[in-house]
Amino acid sequence: MNVQSTPGELKLGTTLYSFTAAFHSRQASFEQLVAKVAELGVGPGIELVGFQSIRGFPVVSDSFAGHFRELMARYQLEPSCLSINADTALCRGQMMTPEEAARYLEPQIRAAAKLGFPVAKSQFAAPAESLRLLLPLIEQLGIKVGPEIHAPLGVDSPPVLAYRELYAQVNSPLLGFVPDFGTCARTLPASYLDTLRRRGIEERALELAVSIWKGPESPQWKRDEFNRRATELNVEPTKASALSVMFSMLSPHKPESWLEIMPQIIHLHGKFYDFDAEGNESSIPYGQILPLFMKAGYRGYMSSEWEGHLYAWEPGYEPVRQHHALCRRILAAM
Amino acid sequence: MENNFSRGLICADEVKSAHGRLELGIRLPWYRSLPLSVVELGELVVDGQVVPHQNVSLEINGHEYSLDQLGKLTGEFWYVLDSARLRLPCVLDPWQPHTITLTINLYPPYIPGLTWVTRGSLALEAKR
């Protein structure tokens, strides 16, 4: 074991999205959540969803920007990534052109730079071409931009390949990807399956979904196969629809697959749901993932992103604290 | 089936009757602000009776809209912490208990193809 490696090189942080339940239910304000990150020791990185944390986004007033910088200084936190949205289906039943998508993303990227975020995380709903159009602005602002690779996508999925092709053409260090580790799940979180049971999903429907989820087939095939077999089993449609969420929540890709695009990784989403008795994430193998990124030379931030609020409407403070303890333990052992 | 936004969908402390209309404070059942163009009011049921959408309005950011206007409002965002005011042409007898059930369909504009359906109910007790 190399005891001289410094665990601080992969920097940890938190996205306030983890605390969605506390914020949405008006239990905690934006300022209180920032203070909470410092209190729990789950910084130094702070990630925000622009359209969640900032009223009036993508307009960011000078006074909000000043207030935000003051909060970062007061709590010794650092802006790591601003999560922006590619709302390309704003008009229902119609998709934006690459030019329209670029115009929609532009004020959000400017907002990220104004707030001092080094990275703006976008989404595949914007076609790759829109980033080519935005590259002059991105270079002028000196900010990194790229879409999040979220389940069910992996490095070889068609939308990801389209971006990789563009990146190979333009060859800019400012364009990249943000992997979400929900893509590397070995199984589905026990707490999630228990919630589905409590909400009345029959065991046979649950078993069907989980067995299809675990297979190596494409996400679309899995969803279709599940829907076909759920209909055969007479699973009630609202329950079938609730179950099909799992195919885009988590996917079973191999952590090693990220090595293929490692130099283009600009930020990480440390997605997690719950923990086993030893404090390990119950479905996502952080003990494999973090050493892989460290050894490959990744030196940016990872935001802890608790998404248990999808089914457990809790503030999320304790799970984020546990996730940081787990990650620090893994990094310190390297 | 419920989701995590069902319980808070109709704000229990933001129910009013005024000028012959019932006014409900309702919340956006999503984690981030969305434009009204992707918000669709589904079935509205008061005491077992379906309320037709004509004469129902939604007030947000100080502007009042009829429900059939929402689909065009790509620039009017519903901030995630704000309650919208839903006004229905109903008069409720305060001396009787009532149940209001609301369904909201969202079409998150960055997840083409997804319809997010949230149904929430509020039971009002009779005045004593």
Residue where the block lists tokens 């115009």: A103
Are A325 and A317 in contact by the 8 Å Cβ rule? The answer is: no
Residues A276 and A155 grouped into a single domain: yes
Q: Measured between CA atoms, how close is B122 to chain A, in angstroms?
A: 16
CA distance A66 to A61: 9
What ranges do the domains of chain B cover? 10-124
The DSSP secondary-structure symbol of A131 reads: H
B37–A17 C-beta distance less than 8 A = no
Catalytic residue, candidates A24, A67, A150, A269: A150
> Domain check: are A213 and A81 in the same one?
no
**ipTM of the assembly?**
0.96
Q: Is position A150 annotated as part of the catalytic site?
A: yes
Residue A1, pLDDT score: 32
Min CA distance, B128 vs chain A (Å)? 30
Q: Which residues in chain B have Cβ-Cβ distances shorter than 8 Å to A238?
A: 1, 117
- Is pLDDT above 90 for B10? yes
Q: Are residues A326 and A285 located together in one domain of the fold? A: yes
Same domain, A19 and A81: yes
The minimal CB distance from B8 to the residues A25, A88, A310 is found for: A25
**Helices A286-295/A317-332 angle, 10° precision:** 50
CA dist B15 and B10 (Å) reads 8
Handedness of CA A224, A225, A227, A231 (dihedral sign): positive
Subunit contact A26:B32, Cβ cutoff 8 A: no
List of chain B residues whose C-beta atoms are within 8 Å of the C-beta of residue A125: 109-112
Cβ proximity of A270 and A45 under 8 Å: no
Task: Tell me how close the Cα of A311 comes to any Cα of chain B, in angstroms.
Answer: 6
Task: State residue A223's pLDDT score.
Answer: 87
Q: What angle do CA A107, B29, B104 make, to 5 degrees?
A: 110
Residue A1 lies in a domain: no
The verdict on A88 touching B (C-beta cutoff 8 Å) is yes
CATH number at residue A299: 3.20.20.150
Identify whether residues A223 and A147 lie together within a single domain: no
Do A61 and A133 reside in the same domain of the chain? yes
Helix (H) or strand (E) run with residue B11 in it: strand B10-18
- Any B CB within 8 A of A59 CB: no
pLDDT of residue A3: 34
Q: What's the number of domains chain A is made of?
A: 2
Q: Does residue A2 sit within a domain?
A: no
> Distance between CA A82 and CA A164 in Å, rounded?
22
User: Do residue A208 and residue A227 come from a single domain?
Assistant: yes
A287 within some domain: yes
Q: Which residue of B lies nearest to A314 if distances are taken between CA atoms?
A: B4
Question: Would residue A270 count as lying in a domain?
Answer: yes
Q: Is residue A267 part of a domain?
A: yes
Instruction: Please give, rounded to a whole number of angstroms, the shortest distance from the CA of B116 to a CA of chain A.
Output: 10
Task: Return the pLDDT at A240.
Answer: 86
- List alpha helices for chain A, DSSP H: 20-24, 30-40, 50-53, 62-74, 98-114, 128-141, 158-170, 190-198, 203-213, 219-232, 237-244, 246-249, 286-295, 317-332
- Would you call A92 and B4 a contact, using CB atoms and an 8 Å cutoff? no
Half-sphere exposure of A171 (CA within 13 A, CB side): 1
For chain A, say whether B79 makes contact (Cβ under 8 Å).
yes
- What kind of fold does domain B10-124 have according to CATH? Immunoglobulin-like (2.60.40)
Residue A13 domain flag:
yes
Look at residue A34 and tell me if it is in a domain: yes
Q: Do both A196 and A316 map to the same domain?
A: no
Contact flag A24-B31 (C-beta cutoff 8 Å): yes
Q: Does B17 touch chain A (CB under 8 A)?
A: no
**Of A25, A56, A87, which has the smallest distance from its Cβ to B110's Cβ?**
A87
CB contact under 8 A, A52 and B1: no
Last residue of a domain, one of A200, A227, A243: A243
B25 inside 8 A of chain A by CB: no
Mark yes or no for CB contact B112/A25 under 8 Å.
no
pLDDT in tens, chain A (334 residues): 333 334 458 999 999 999 999 999 999 999 999 999 999 999 999 999 999 999 999 999 999 999 999 999 999 999 999 999 999 999 988 999 999 999 999 999 999 999 999 999 999 999 999 999 999 999 999 999 999 999 999 999 999 999 999 999 999 999 999 999 999 999 999 899 999 999 899 999 999 999 999 998 888 899 899 999 999 999 988 788 888 888 889 999 999 999 999 999 999 999 999 999 999 999 999 999 999 999 999 999 999 999 999 988 999 999 999 999 999 999 999 8
Contact B86, B56 (CB under 8 A): yes
Domain that holds residue A328: 7-188+250-332
Q: Does A238 touch chain B (CB under 8 A)?
A: yes
Average pLDDT over every residue of B78-99: 95
